[in-house]
Structure 1
Amino acid sequence: MGDAAAQGGGTLRVFFVDAFAARPFEGNPAAVVPLPRWLPDATLQAMAAEHNLSETAFLARAEDGAGWRLRWFTPAAEVELCGHATLATSFVLATELGAPAPHAFATRSGTLGVEREGERFVLDFPARPAERAEPPPGLAAALGAAPREVWRARDWICVFDSAEQVAGLRPDFRQLAALPGGERVIATAAGGPPGHDVTSRYFAPKVGVPEDPVTGTAHVQLVPFWAARLGRTALVCRQASRRGGTLWCELRGARVRMGGTAVLYARGEILLPPGEGTAG
C-alpha cells in the first residue's frame, strides 16, 4: 500500500473522499493515505496541514496482519476519534484497494468496525452519554445566541428550540476557541428537513476546524441524547453546515451505528521529500 523509500523520499497514494455525501461537494471531505509502514508523527502532521481538510486518515496493516491501524489528523493536531474519515477509509479499502467490508480498525479509541449495507457504510462506535452542565463563561456570546439547555459529553452540547435557529447561528470562532475547558461545541435541535429527526452543527476552531461539515463523533453524543428525548433508537440526522450531510443512526445499547454513503472526488500521489522515510 505505497512505495515510499526508507531514506530517499518516494511516493504515496492519496484518495480524496466526500463522506456522508450522495454526490461530490456534499458531506465532509477527507484525505485517505495508505502507508506501507508508519512515517514519523511530524511528517504525518505536516501532510495533514498541507491537505488542509478537517481530517486526513492514515492507515497501515496491523502488525498481526489481521486488520488495520488507523490514525486521524486535523491540520493542527491528531485526534482520538473521527467518524467521517473512518467511513472514507472503509470506502477506499472497499472500492479502490480490493479489500471489501467488514473492516476492523485499531485506533486510539479502541477497535472500530465498519460494515457495508448496500451503498451505505455503517460505523459502529462507542456511545457517549451527556450530562446536564453549566455553560462555560462566554458560550452564548461566542455562538451568537443563548441555547435553551447546555449538556456535556466529550463536547459541549447546546440545545436550541428549532432547526432554523441552529442553521442561523453565526458564531465567533475566535471566542469559541478561547472557551475554558471545552473548545468543541455542538449546536442541535429536534427536527429538520422532511424525513429528518435531528439537526446539528459542529464547531472546533481550537483544533483547526472552525466548522466541521459532517461529524461522526458529534453523533455518538447526539444519538443517545435524542434517542432518550424522542423515545426511539433509530434517528435520521442532518448536519446543517454549508455542505450538509445525512447520517442514518441507531442506538444499540452502549454503541452507536452511523450509516452514510461516500463518493470519490480525486486520486493522487504524494511526493515525499528526501529524508522523509518511513519510521519503524
Structure 2
Amino acid sequence: MLRPEVLDYYKRGGEHHRLTAGAGRLEFLRTWDALTRLLPAAPAHVLDVGGATGVYAVPLAAAGYEVQVVDPVPDHVAHAATLPGVTAVLGDARSLPAAADTADAVLLFGPLYHLLSRSDRVTAWREAARVVRPGGVVVGATISRFASLFDGFANDRFGDAAFRPLVEGALSDGMHRPSSPERGWFTSAYFHHPDEPAAEAAEAGLVVRQRLSVESPLWMIGPRLDELLASAERTALLLEMLREIESEPTLLGASSHQLTVAVRAAASA
C-alpha cells in the first residue's frame, strides 16, 4: 500500500515526536483548533484516515467522538487500537474498509501527501465522499509546495549539497524526492500548490467550503515559537489571531500545511 521508503520512514519512528514542539506543536494546536469548529458535535463517527498512532484520535475520543483510525502501517494500527475509545484497522485511503454513508466526518491527515499521483489523490477524496454521510464533512491536510524552500533557510539546511536539488524538484513538479534516508529528511511526498487540493476534492464530487492555512508564516520563527507556546496566555492569543487570518488566500502558500474542508452534498428532497 505504501511505497517502501515511506513505510521504512514510519517504521523508524517517522514523525513520532514531531507534533510535540516548535512548528510541529503549532501544527497540532492549530489543526485541533480547526477541528473543534469544523466537526459535527459529539457523539459523531469520525474516520481518521492515515491517523497513525492516534495523535488526533486520542483527543477526539476524549471529547466524546466515536473514532476509527485507518492506517497502512501495521505498527501504527496496533498502537492506535490500544487507545481508550479508539478502534483501528489496517487500510488504504484509496479503498477504505468502511461501508458507504457510515461516517459523519472523514479526516485525510497524511494520505494526500503520500499519494504521489493526482489520480490516486482524487481516488482518496472520492473514497472519503463514499463513506461519509450526505452533508458530512471531509478535511484534508496537505503540505505546501514551498515548505522545503522555507524550511531550508529557517533551519539552515542548504549547507548540505543534496538539499537544493530536493527543493528544486519540489518547486518544479511538487515531488519531494529525498535521496538519502540517513539524513533524516521527510520521506517521499507530494507538496501541493495551494490551489490543487480544492480542485482534487471537487473532481471527486465534494463541495469545497474552506481552505485554511494551518501554521501561517509563524512556523518559520524558530526558537521564538517555543517561547510563545510555553505561555498559555500567549498561546491563546496566537490561536485567536491566527483564526482571523486562516482563510486569507494570500497566506496559504507560506504556511507549511493547509487544510481543505469539503462536504458531501446532501441528498435531494
Q: TM-score range by the shorter chain?
A: under 0.3
Task: Compare the two structures and name the one with the higher helix fraction.
Answer: 2
Identify which of structures 1 and 2 has the higher relative contact order when contacts are C-alpha pairs closer than 8 Å and 6+ apart: 1
Task: Report the structure number with the largest CA radius of gyration.
Answer: 1
Task: Compare the two structures and name the one with the higher strand fraction.
Answer: 1
